[in-house]
Amino acid sequence: MSLNFKSQLPQLDGIFDALFAASEVIYAELKKGSGLKFATSSNESGDDQIELDVIADEAFFETLKHDANVRYVVSEERPDMKRISDGRYSVALDPLDGSKSALVGIPSGAIFAIFEDAEVAADFNGSNIVSGGFFVFGMNLEAYFAVGKAVYKGLFDADSGAWTIQPIEGGMPSADVLAINGQNQKLWDTWLQRHYDELLDPKGGTRKPYNMRWFASMVSDMKRMVLQGGLFAYPSANTKGYEDGKLRLVYEAIPMAYLIHAMGGSSTNGDQSILEMPVEKLHQKTPVFIGDKAKIEAVEAAKKAG
C-alpha cells in the first residue's frame, strides 16, 4: 500500500495508514466473493451478520492494534471497548456498512470516526471527534473523509497499489434529492409524514417534487450526498425496533454528520445537531437527518410545528 497523505493533526498518520490498509484487505475479499453469505451470528444491535462483517471487523482490528497512538477500538460488531494502548486517539467503526446490500451487488463500505481522549462511552461524542468518513467498496475502492474542516476524496489504484488523495472543495452541493427508507411511512410521527408529503408533492406548484433515491447502503447514499447534495433521512417509527431509528449514533451518525458539517452542511435528530447529542452507550441508536443547512432547518421547523 502507498498512502501519501499527511494529516495536519499530530499522530494521526499511522491511524490513517491502518484504516486504508484494512480497506484494501476487505475490498479484495469482497471482489473475490468471500463472505457473501449469512453467518450464524448477529452483532450487538441484533442485526444478522454476513461472514464478511466478521472479516471486515477483524481486518480493521488487525491493522489498528499495531499503532501506539490508538487507545481504544470500538466496533458495531463487538460488545465492548477494546483497549489497545495509552494512545491519544480512539477509533469507532462500522466495519461493513450495507452488508446485506452487498449480497445483491449494491456497493457497501465502512464508516470510521477518530476521537481524541475518549476513555468511556460518553466520550465518543461530537465534541471529541477529529476525523470521520467512509470507504466505498464499489466499482472502485474510494474514501471520503474530513479532518478538521478539510475534506478529502481518496481513490485506490489496484495496479500500482497507491492511493490518490485529493481535497474536495467548493462546500456542500445542493440538490432536491431525498434518500429515505419509506417502509415505515405510515408509522412515522405525524409531523414527518406531513413534511415527507410536502417534499414529494409541493403545494401550489412553487417547485418541483424531490427525487427519491435509496440504496439501503448508507455509504452509497452518503457518497451521493457528498458529490451531489440532498437530504438523507433514517427516522424513528412507532413500531418495535424503530423507536429510535436503526442507525447507531457513534458508528454511523456522528462520523457522517462530522463529514457533512465540514463541507458546510448540517445534521439533526429532529431536535438538535447530531454532533451535540450526548452519548449514553456505545450501541445507542438515533434518528438521523443529514443534508444541507436549509433542508435540516426545514426538518427541525416541521417537527417543532407538529
Domains of the chain (ranges, CATH numbers): 2-167 (3.30.540.10), 177-305 (3.40.190.80)
pTM listed for this prediction: 0.94
Question: Binning pLDDT at 50, 70 and 90, where does residue 51 land?
Answer: confident
Question: Binning pLDDT at 50, 70 and 90, where does residue 45 land?
Answer: low
What pLDDT shows up at residue 31? 87
DSSP 200-220: HS-GGGSSPPPEE---S-HHH
pLDDT tens digit sequence for 144-159 = 999 999 999 999 999 9
Buried b (16+ CB within 10 A) or exposed e, 268-303: bbbeeebbebebeebbbbbbbbbbbeebbebbbebb
Q: How many angstroms separate the CA atoms of 76 and 43, rounded?
A: 7
**Cα dihedral 158→7→124→228 (10° resolution):** -60
- 8 Å CB contact between 173 and 295: no
pLDDT tens digit sequence for 225-269 = 999 999 999 999 999 999 999 999 999 999 999 999 999 999 999
The answer for 171, left when phi > 0, alpha when psi is -120 to 50, beta otherwise, is left
Buried b (16+ CB within 10 A) or exposed e, 43-57: beeeeebbbbbbbbb
pLDDT tens digit sequence for 181-197 = 999 999 999 999 999 99
Q: How many angstroms separate the CA atoms of 67 and 51, rounded?
A: 26
pLDDT tens digit sequence for 271-289 = 999 999 999 999 999 999 9
Of 117, 121, 147, 138, which Cα lies nearest the Cα of 19? 147
Q: How many angstroms separate the CA atoms of 281 and 284, rounded?
A: 5
What pLDDT shows up at residue 40? 44
Of 124, 170, 93, 130, which Cα lies nearest the Cα of 8? 130
